[in-house]
């Protein structure tokens, strides 16, 4: 229904440096953000849109040009100047760049570009390896170290480790590298064994914490030295499902239905449960921002609903043959776009379904395109 509008928003955000975060091209969004441009580029791959694919290639090259000495990919680039993060660095800038670069090179058979970028891709993977810190296989992210940069998750996060797995897996396939293929298998097993409660007797990263943590119908959000954060991370779970991690989909679907009943709509929260003033984690939220505090209950990362990650969830579930819940999410989102104007806002508050944040966001346009893909 809104496919052409979504594609046009991404097209309008394309510049000589690559795909900007928003078609409005203003403020902090007028930059080539690694995660935003790569996800928009992935949507372009799914839609096979030539204009967006050209913007993706330029984004790939712009980010590669500013790769740091240690292999890290910039969080964003604007007017030839790179940023690697403000309060902390961004682990997912590097992973998203590797993932989508490899997808693009594989699908469109860019042999010359593949050779040109090989050293940079392997250097980026080497950087990710150093972020294990303990050489045990899982990547460690600081507080504020990924897309949810004003939220409370940190440590061995589900989201960042699933992305790291995808990056290693894609590089192994593109360059036919057996060592990386084996590493990807090891990482996948580590995630499966450490972020989901089973009867398996496999060794655990943190045996004490694992034994004390109760089963959830989804993959836990993160593991730290002080134990597990068992909240629901929609983005991390959506990507894990997309990449064929094992989950009880009957129980998981029932959990999503329960969220629908609790909130009264299908714009599901990106993190759950919502954190309120007085809760244990509130103190981690209240000072963690750059410009203004956005994480009031039901807003932004704190229980807000982000179309980009609902898009990944719909895409993942449909690839598993589970089309019912994606259909409900798409219907709900299209209804909101009709009622409140299809400006593809950044997120919706989950208490009042207010469209909030930046308009004409490539993130949200990409999410809609993913929602509406058949598979």
Task: Give residue 44's pLDDT.
Answer: 98
Using alpha carbons only, what angle is made at residue 120 by residues 116 and 124, rounded to the nearest 5 degrees?
Answer: 155
Domain check: are 180 and 254 in the same one? no
Question: Based on the domain organization, do 270 and 375 belong to the same domain?
Answer: yes
323 lies in the same domain as 231: no
Same domain, 216 and 332: no
Give residue-wise pLDDT tens across range 161-191.
999 999 999 999 999 999 999 999 999 999 9
The answer to whether the CB of 256 falls within 8 A of the CB of 268 is: yes
Do 166 and 240 share a domain, yes or no? yes
Beta pairing partners, 349 = none
Q: Which domain holds residue 66?
A: 1-101
Query: How far lies 341's CA from each of 110, 200, 334, in Å?
Result: 39, 49, 10
Contact in structure between 233 and 170 (CB atoms under 8 Å):
no
Query: Which residues of the chain have a pLDDT value below 70?
Result: 375
Mean of pLDDT over the chain: 96
pLDDT at 291: 83
* Domain match, 203 and 260 both: no
Q: What is the pTM assigned to this prediction?
A: 0.98
Q: For residue 298, tell me if it sits in a domain.
A: no
Q: What is the DSSP string of 321-358?
A: T--HHHHHHHHHHHHHHHHH-----SEE-TTT--EES-
The pLDDT of residue 134:
95
| Boundary residue ending a domain (214, 229, 247) | 247
Q: How far apart are CA 206 and CA 224, in angstroms?
A: 9
| CA pair distance 354, 347, nearest whole angstrom | 8
Number of domains making up the chain: 3
Does residue 362 share a domain with residue 352?
yes
Answer whether residue 30 is part of any domain: yes
54 and 27, same structural domain? yes
User: What's residue 57's pLDDT?
Assistant: 98
Rounded CA gap, 17 and 98, in Å? 18
> E strands of the chain, at which residues?
14-15, 18-19, 32-33, 76-78, 81-83, 156-157, 220-224, 227-233, 271-272, 347-348, 355-356
Q: Are residues 252 and 373 in the same domain?
A: yes
The reply to whether 111 falls in a domain is no
At residue 137, the pLDDT reads 97
């Amino acid at each position: 229904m809104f496919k052409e509008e979504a594609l046009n928003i991404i097209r309008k955000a394309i510049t000589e440096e690559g795909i900007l975060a928003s078609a409005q091209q203003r403020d902090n969004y007028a930059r080539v953000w690694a995660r935003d441009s790569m996800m928009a580029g992935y949507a372009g791959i799914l839609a096979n849109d030539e204009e967006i694919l050209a913007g993706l290639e330029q984004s790939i090259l712009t980010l590669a040009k500013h790769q740091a000495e240690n292999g890290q990919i910039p969080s964003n680039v604007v007017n030839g100047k790179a940023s690697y993060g403000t309060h902390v660095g961004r682990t997912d800038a590097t992973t998203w760049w590797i993932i989508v670069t490899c997808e693009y090179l594989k699908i469109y058979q860019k042999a010359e570009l593949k050779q040109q970028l090989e050293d940079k891709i392997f250097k980026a993977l080497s950087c990710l390896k150093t972020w294990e810190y303990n050489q045990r296989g899982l990547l460690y992210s600081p507080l504020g170290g990924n897309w949810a940069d004003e939220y409370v998750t940190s440590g061995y996060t589900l989201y960042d480790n699933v992305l790291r797995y995808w990056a290693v897996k894609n590089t192994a396939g593109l360059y036919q590298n057996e060592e990386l293929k084996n590493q990807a298998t090891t990482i996948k097993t580590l995630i499966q064994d450490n972020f989901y409660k089973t009867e398996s007797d496999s060794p655990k990263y943190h045996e004490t914490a694992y034994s004390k943590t109760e089963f959830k119908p989804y993959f836990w959000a993160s593991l730290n030295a002080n134990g597990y954060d068992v909240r629901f991370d929609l983005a991390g779970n959506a990507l894990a499902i997309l990449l064929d991690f094992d989950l009880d989909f009957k129980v998981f679907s029932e959990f999503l239905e329960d969220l629908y009943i609790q909130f009264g709509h299908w714009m599901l929260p990106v993190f759950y449960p919502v954190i309120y003033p007085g809760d244990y984690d509130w103190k981690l939220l209240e000072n963690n921002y750059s410009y203004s505090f956005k994480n009031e209950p039901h807003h932004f990362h704190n229980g807000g609903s982000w179309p980009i990650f609902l898009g990944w969830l719909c895409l993942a579930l449909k690839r598993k043959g589970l089309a019912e819940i994606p259909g409900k999410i798409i219907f709900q989102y299209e209804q909101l776009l009709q009622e409140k104007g299809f400006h593809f806002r950044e997120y919706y508050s989950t208490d009042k379904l207010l469209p909030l944040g930046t308009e004409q966001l490539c993130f949200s346009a990409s999410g809609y395109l993913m929602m509406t893909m058949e598979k």
